[in-house]
């Protein structure tokens, strides 16, 4: 049976700087990568296959360039990849994204687990996994840090919540979202790299997907971005001067007069 892993290509924003003159993100030299949180999802999918067999199918909704990321996923152990790409998919919010992914997963046929990263690095909402579960009408376990046991029909997993951790049991198929604690992703293998170069990656547009045109992209989105702005970073830090003892005294005086200590 299939293990489906959802991936997103994101700008590798780890080193993003703001240009102090224009206040813009400096994008030069920033490559697109697999959303870091999704690499744990992919690795976990490959590990489940190694123990239980089946196929790891990676899917992504994105522009044509996202194909390179799917090839990378194959080099990291995925068996097959499908890219969902169509100009009508642009501007999708989490609802429309989840609808598009859910439609593709149903079309792929029987699966027993869908794995997503806990959130993306760019949009950062963490909503697609839960929305996807509901659209597929299957159980959901979020923030999974360890799969304790998985069979064809059932999963037992440990998940991290604000107050500690829970061990949850759910029937399969199910959707899980995973945290970085779950594994250490492997590096691409030589065999994987060779396979990724020759792999055919089908691209499904709206017609091939067979989705409802009013539920994808901008038209399927309930939310709209109406304004984008930069957070105020006009905090001019007061850097204390003089010898350290003096600096510490000044700091404590400031904090005291602000009523903080």
Partner 1 sequence: MGIQFDLNKCIGCGECVPACPFGLLEVVNDKVQLKEGCTLCGSCQDICTYKAICIESVPDTKLASDSHQGVWVFAEQRKGRLKGVAYELLAKGRELANSLHTELSAVCFGHNVDKVSLIAHGADKVYLVDSPEFANNPEDLYTSLLADLIRQYKPEIVLAGATSLGRSFIPRVAAILGTGLTADCTGLEIDIEKRLLLQTRPTFGGNIMATIICQAGRPQMSTVRPRVFKRSAPDKIRQGQTIKVDFNKECMTSRIKLLSFVEDITETVKLDEADIIVSGGRGLGKPENFQLLKELAGVLGAALGSSRPPVDEGWIPYCHQVGQTGKTVCPKLYIACGISGSVQHLAGMQTSDTIVAINDDPNAPIFQVATYGIVGDLFKVVPMLIEKLKSE
Q: Provide the minimum distance between the beta carbon of 259 and partner 1 in the complex, in angstroms, as a whole number.
A: 9
176 token code pair? 């899980």
Distance CA 98, CA 95 (A): 5
Phi, psi dihedrals of residue 40, rounded to the nearest 5°: -70, -35
Q: Provide the minimum distance between the beta carbon of 196 and partner 1 in the complex, in angstroms, as a whole number.
A: 21
Q: Does 194 bind partner 1 (CB under 8 A)?
A: no
Q: Provide the minimum distance between the beta carbon of 70 and partner 1 in the complex, in angstroms, as a whole number.
A: 15
Cis omega (within 30 of 0) on the bond before 234? no
Contacting partner 1 (CB under 8 A), which of 14, 153, 187, 190?
14
> With respect to partner 1, which residue has the nearer C-beta, 127 or 205?
127
Distance CA 90, CA 62 (A): 8
Distance CA 253, CA 189 (A): 58
Rg (CA), the chain: 22
Which range touches partner 1 (CB under 8 A), out of 41-49, 105-113, 195-203, 252-260? 252-260
129 token code pair? 């996994």
Distances (CA, A) of 62 to 8, 20, 32, 164: 7, 31, 12, 35
Q: Does 245 bind partner 1 (CB under 8 A)?
A: yes
111 token code pair? 């699966």
Q: Provide the minimum distance between the beta carbon of 208 and partner 1 in the complex, in angstroms, as a whole number.
A: 18
Q: Does 248 bind partner 1 (CB under 8 A)?
A: yes
213 token code pair? 């045109």
Contacting partner 1 (CB under 8 A), which of 95, 97, 193, 210?
95
> With respect to partner 1, which residue has the nearer C-beta, 187 or 226?
226
Q: Does 188 bind partner 1 (CB under 8 A)?
A: no
196 token code pair? 């990724």
Which range touches partner 1 (CB under 8 A), out of 46-54, 107-115, 178-186, 198-206? 178-186
Contacting partner 1 (CB under 8 A), which of 73, 135, 144, 147?
135
Q: Does 198 bind partner 1 (CB under 8 A)?
A: no
The answer to whether 178 touches 117, Cβ cutoff 8 Å, is yes
Contacting partner 1 (CB under 8 A), which of 12, 55, 108, 126?
126
> With respect to partner 1, which residue has the nearer C-beta, 161 or 190?
161
Distance CA 260, CA 27 (A): 39
Q: Which of residues 101-120 bind partner 1 (CB under 8 A)?
A: 118-119
Q: Which of residues 18-77 bind partner 1 (CB under 8 A)?
A: 18, 22-27, 37, 63, 65
Q: Does 228 bind partner 1 (CB under 8 A)?
A: yes
Q: Which of residues 137-176 bind partner 1 (CB under 8 A)?
A: 139-143, 156, 160-171
């Amino acid at each position: 049976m299939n293990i489906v892993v959802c991936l997103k290509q994101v700008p590798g924003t780890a080193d993003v700087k703001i240009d102090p003159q224009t206040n813009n993100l400096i994008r030069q030299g920033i490559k697109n990568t697999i959303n870091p949180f999704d690499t744990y999802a992919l690795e976990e999918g490959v590990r489940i296959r190694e123990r239980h067999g089946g196929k790891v199918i990676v899917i992504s909704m994105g522009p044509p360039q996202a194909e390179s990321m799917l090839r990378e996923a194959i080099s990291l152990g995925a068996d097959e990849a499908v890219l969902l790409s169509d100009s009508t998919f642009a501007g999708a919010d989490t609802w429309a994204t989840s609808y598009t992914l859910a439609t593709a997963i149903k079309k792929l046929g029987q699966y027993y687990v869908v794995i997503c990263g806990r959130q993306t690095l760019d949009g950062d909402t963490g909503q697609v996994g839960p929305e996807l579960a509901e659209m597929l009408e299957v159980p959901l376990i979020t923030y999974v840090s360890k799969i304790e046991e998985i069979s064809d029909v059932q999963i037992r997993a440990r998940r991290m919540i604000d107050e500690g951790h829970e061990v949850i049991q759910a029937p399969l198929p199910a959707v899980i979202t995973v945290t970085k604690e779950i594994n250490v992703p492997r590096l691409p293998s030589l065999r994987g790299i060779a396979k990724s170069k020759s792999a055919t990656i089908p691209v499904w547009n709206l017609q091939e997907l067979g989705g409802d045109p009013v539920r994808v992209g901008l038209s399927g989105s309930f939310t709209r971005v109406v304004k984008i702005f930069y957070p105020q970073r006009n905090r001019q830090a007061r850097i204390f001067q003089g010898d350290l003892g003096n600096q510490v005294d000044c700091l404590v005086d400031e904090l005291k007069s602000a009523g903080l200590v």
